[in-house]
Structure formats: structure tokens, C-alpha cells
A = this chain, B = another copy of it.
């Protein structure tokens, strides 16, 4: 990116982090995705070569270090971008895109987020497999399994022969609405937008396992 030609620190910051994708890569690192392909998972529309270029730029600018193990990590400087990323998330939650675009409902992203944000301490002690069926997604990418072996939670894209303890039938849209805090889970369950089937005890407890997205509690603007 060519310079903004300004001594203003806002401009100088944007020269480093203002390029397309860059702050989303930082977001991934802030969320704890340290490996190249993990990061790529979080920005599925980004090309491999571009991600490599961005990581290199961030490294050169001193926001990221690349460990010999292959892991990337934020430096103190990089970590201090958290307020900026958070600020953007809060603003986005309040003001961005009122219209849901189905093409933004990437189910892999959703399930990946979800499986990394469970209340581990509330999970059942016995091995449990939760099967998800997202009806509004093309068949190939519509089925997911959470394999809970406390404290591990594994996300599977195929059933590798295990028995399904809980079955959840819903849509990516409904799940995202809950995950993003747009709609309460209770309501989605009541309206059958999210339907759970299985042993009554587990069905009752399931809602307590879920954490919501970091931005779910952000107050929406008053529609005055």
C-alpha cells in the first residue's frame, strides 16, 4: 500500500493494518488460530498466496512473529490491536448490514466458531456426539458432528462411525442468529427453528453448553 503522506498516527496505523484482509488476519490470531491453515479457515475467501503475503508484511512490521514450529503469534504490538478489532466488531454489530446475506452464512466457519466456544466445564462427562443438520446448506456441507470427550471437543465433517447421542436439525441462518445474539436460543427452540432430539436430560442441558459470540451481548441501537 502506498503511503498516505501524513504524520497523523491514524494514517500511519492504516498504512500498516489498513489493507484489505489484514485486520481479519489479526482477528484470527487474536482468537487463537495460530497455524497457517487454521487462519485460512477463518478467511475462506482469501487466497493462500495472499495470506502468505499479509503474514509476511505483518512480520516485517513487527506485529507478528513466525516461530520455527510454524506457528504465528502476535507480538505485544500486534496484541494491542485488540481494541481496534473489538471496536470494529461492536460497530459492525450495531450498524452493519441489516440484511442477512445467505452467502455469508458459511457453515464451516459457524461450526468451527461454535465448537471452540463451549462451556467445557458444563459438558457431559460421558463421551457424547452431537450431530448437526443444517437444512439450508447444500448437502455436501450440511452435516457436522461435535465429538465431546471432556475436555476435548472435536469437530468432524464426516461421521466416522460413531453413534449420535443428540441430533440437532436447524438452519445455518437460525444457528447464526442465536450465535450472534440476534435471537435468544429459547425462542429458536420454542419455534422449532432449532430442533433437538435425544435423551431428555441432554436435550434439556444442551442450551447451557453453548457460549455465544463475543459480540452477542453488544446492545443494539434503539430504533427510535
Residue positions of A touching B, CB distance < 8 A: 1, 3-18, 20-21, 23-24, 27, 43-45, 62-63, 76-77, 80-81, 83-85, 87-97, 100-101, 103-106, 109-110, 176, 180, 215, 221
**Contacts A15-B96, A95-B77; A88 near B10 (Cβ below 8 A):** yes
Residues on B with beta carbons closer than 8 Å to the beta carbon of A8: 24, 27, 89, 92, 109
> Please, which residues of chain B bring their CB within 8 A of the CB of A15?
96-97
Do A23 and B18 have beta carbons less than 8 Å apart? yes
Nearest chain B CB to A165 CB, angstrom units: 28
Q: Which of B7, B13, B88, B94 contacts A91 (CB 8 A)?
A: B13
Number of copies: 2
Q: A62 contacts which chain B residues (CB < 8 A)? A: 95
User: With A and B bound together, what is the CA distance between A97 and B60 in angstroms?
Assistant: 12
- A179 (CB) vs chain B CBs: closest residue: B7
The minimal Cβ–Cβ distance linking A115 to chain B, given in whole angstroms, is: 16
User: With a CB–CB cut-off of 8 A, which chain B residues contact A97?
Assistant: 12, 15
Q: Choose from B6, B100, B104 the contact partner of A6 (Cβ within 8 Å).
A: B104
